[in-house]
């Protein structure tokens, strides 16, 4: 294992690379009762969190950690005891390191059985109280960040697309995405056969999405925008709807794109009760034909499109406030994908974590996006709930503790990691409780 760049996952990445770690972070492990009290005071009706596979099953398979079971039971019971509905994600990039070392983790089809066994433990231990499950968090970001560009764990990539000690940006993203879909559908199949009829829960699929807008009205840019939709969204969603990858991807990526067997296609198709969307921003698309040999270009080259965002430099943020994009995404899902049941799983505004509680730009972002969300619902979008990212400061995969989306400031310098509401937390609480919003909020099954 290299000392500078290697196949690391969340539990080891920070230690080996010398980065800040999530060993304690905001210490929700010990402060969950205090945090749930803050949720109640804010007015939240649901809370979305992840179960850590390495914490629950340290060796990836086999023995279950009783302390982890106790912690998650305590958290779930505390939430339910205060009228807050738990929404649980099973995999948020934190693969047990032993599975990466043993068979390269998500690059191997062996991951499907191990992930399904992990899901089985979660359904068995917590499913009597958890009504909403999501097997994998935004696999498209996990795949591109971890296996094409090398930004995220396990830091696989190849030149000229990134600078890693191992990996192949040309083919690995397609392989890992395929295994993510097979693992997801296997977990869903298990849940439906063994648990759903008695636990009466729902199981869905999560995606990171952009609203894509052509730079010009040229035929080429409009076609490139459709390809961007197919590559970023259709790549993972269309197998769940139709049992196969988008035609544009099959034409462009060729044999690099794995094929589903007949049985796999049947199992993947329909393997969701709802779709969870992580939405933050608009991207602008320009046609960018890539004439490189098929086996020398990565995902972006296969897509044949140049993507750029509009950054509000005055906000010192990576996100510009263009709230129409959320309505555009929901309209696209309504018109193109049959208006499936949707939860907005993530939506928020990043700012430097500088100790200031004045985050007026975050309030502006949330206000405008919620306004557009309500417009989409009135126009028929099948949205069941909304979660903002994030309730409080935490360890971000991109930016560590330096950047934050948190409504609550966590004083990491204080011994007790004190929480303080930012202006956005106060605004959001007032928004939820405002009687003028009551009729709109009733359209949600849950809201965070």
CB 62 within 8 A of CB 108: no
Q: How far apart are CA 22 and CA 418, in angstroms?
A: 17
The contacts found for 58-67 with CB under 8 angstroms, 24 or more apart, are: 58/96, 58/98, 59/96, 59/98, 60/95, 60/96, 60/98, 60/99, 60/102, 60/114, 60/118, 61/99, 61/114, 61/117, 61/118, 64/121, 64/125
Residue 292 is predicted with a pLDDT of 82
Q: How far apart are CA 95 and CA 105, in angstroms?
A: 8
Residue 127 is predicted with a pLDDT of 98
How many other CB atoms sit within 10 Å of the CB of residue 113? Answer: 12
CB 350 within 8 A of CB 404: yes
Q: How far apart are CA 106 and CA 109, in angstroms?
A: 7
Residues in the chain with pLDDT values less than 70:
1-23, 310-320, 355, 397-401, 435-448
Residue 290 is predicted with a pLDDT of 79
Q: How far apart are CA 6 and CA 167, in angstroms?
A: 9
Residue 397 is predicted with a pLDDT of 67
- State residue 49 phi and psi, 5-degree precision: -145, 170
How many other CB atoms sit within 10 Å of the CB of residue 400? Answer: 17
In angstroms, how far is CA 417 from the centroid of its own chain?
Answer: 26
- Annotated catalytic residues are 138, 346
CB 329 within 8 A of CB 209: yes
Beta bridge partners of 46: 85
Closest among 18, 34, 39, 20 to 429, alpha carbons compared: 39
CB 344 within 8 A of CB 325: no
In angstroms, how far is CA 434 from the centroid of its own chain?
Answer: 29
Count helices and strands (H / E) in the chain.
18, 14
Residue 368 is predicted with a pLDDT of 95
Residue 437 is predicted with a pLDDT of 57
DSSP of 262-311? HHHHHHHTT--S-EEEEEEEEEEEEE----S-GGG--HHHHHTEEEE---
Q: Which residues contact 386 (CB under 8 A, 6 or more apart)?
A: 343, 344, 347, 370, 373, 444, 447, 448
Cis ω before 278 (30° cut-off from 0): no
Q: To the nearest 10°, report the CA torsion of 53, 57, 62, 65.
A: -150
DSSP of 136-157? ES-HHHHHHHHHTS--STT---
What is residue 177's three-state secondary structure?
Answer: helix
Q: What pLDDT digit, counting tens, does each position of 36-82 carry?
A: 999 999 999 999 999 999 999 999 999 999 999 999 999 999 999 99
- State residue 197 phi and psi, 5-degree precision: -65, -25
Residue 434 is predicted with a pLDDT of 84
Crossing angle, helix 423-433 and helix 28-42, to 10 degrees? Answer: 50
Residue 310 is predicted with a pLDDT of 65
CB 22 within 8 A of CB 8: no
CB 325 within 8 A of CB 210: yes
Q: Please provide the size of the chain in residues.
A: 448
Between β-strands 46-50 and 85-91, what pairing exists: parallel, antiparallel or unpaired?
A: parallel
Closest among 414, 389, 386 to 399, alpha carbons compared: 389
Q: How far apart are CA 350 and CA 210, in angstroms?
A: 16
DSSP of 179-202? HHHHHHHHHHHHHHHHTHHHH--E
């Amino acid at each position: 294992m290299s000392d500078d760049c290697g196949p690391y996952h969340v539990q080891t990445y920070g230690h080996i690379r010398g980065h800040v770690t999530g060993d304690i972070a905001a210490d929700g492990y010990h402060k969950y009762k205090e945090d749930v009290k803050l949720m109640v005071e804010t007015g939240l009706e649901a809370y979305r969190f992840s179960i850590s596979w390495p914490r629950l099953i340290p060796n990836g398979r086999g023995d279950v950690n009783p302390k982890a079971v106790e912690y998650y039971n305590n958290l779930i019971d505390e939430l339910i005891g205060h009228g807050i509905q738990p929404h649980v994600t099973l995999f948020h990039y934190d693969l047990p390191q032993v599975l990466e070392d043993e068979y390269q983790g998500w690059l191997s089809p062996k991951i499907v059985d191990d992930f399904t066994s992990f899901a089985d433990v979660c359904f068995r231990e917590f499913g009597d109280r958890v009504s909403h499950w999501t097997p994998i968090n935004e696999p498209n970001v996990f795949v591109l960040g971890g296996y094409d560009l090398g930004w995220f764990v396990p830091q696989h990539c190849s030149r000229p697309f990134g600078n890693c000690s191992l990996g192949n940006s040309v083919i690995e993203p397609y392989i890992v995405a395929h295994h993510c879909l097979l693992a997801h559908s296997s977990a869903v199949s298990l849940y439906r056969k063994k648990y759903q009829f008695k636990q009466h829960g729902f199981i869905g699929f999560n995606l990171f999405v952009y609203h894509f807008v052509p730079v010009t009205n040229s035929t080429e840019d409009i076609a490139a925008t459709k390809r961007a939709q197919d590559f970023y969204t259709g790549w993972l969603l269309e197998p769940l709807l139709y049992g196969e990858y988008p035609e544009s991807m099959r034409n462009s990526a060729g044999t690099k794109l794995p094929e589903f067997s007949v049985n796999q296609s049947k199992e993947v198709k329909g393997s969701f009760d709802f779709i969870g969307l992580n939405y933050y921003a608009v991207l602008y698309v320009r046609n960018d034909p890539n004439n490189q040999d098929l086996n020398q270009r990565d995902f972006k080259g296969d897509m044949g499109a140049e993507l750029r965002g509009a950054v509000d430099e005055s906000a010192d943020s990576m996100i510009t406030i263009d709230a129409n994009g959320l309505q555009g995404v929901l309209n696209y899902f309504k018109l193109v994908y049959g208006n499936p049941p949707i939860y907005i799983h993530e939506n928020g505004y990043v700012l430097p974590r500088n100790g200031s509680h004045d985050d007026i730009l975050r309030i502006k972002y949330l206000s405008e996006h919620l306004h557009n969300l309500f417009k989409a619902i009135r126009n028929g979008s099948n949205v069941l709930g909304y979660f903002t990212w994030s309730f409080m400061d935490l360890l971000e995969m991109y930016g560590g503790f330096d950047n934050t989306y948190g409504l609550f400031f966590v004083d990491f310098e204080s011994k007790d990691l004190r929480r303080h509401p930012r202006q956005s937390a106060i605004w959001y609480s007032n928004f939820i409780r405002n009687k003028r919003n009551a009729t709109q909020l009733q359209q949600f099954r849950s809201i965070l």
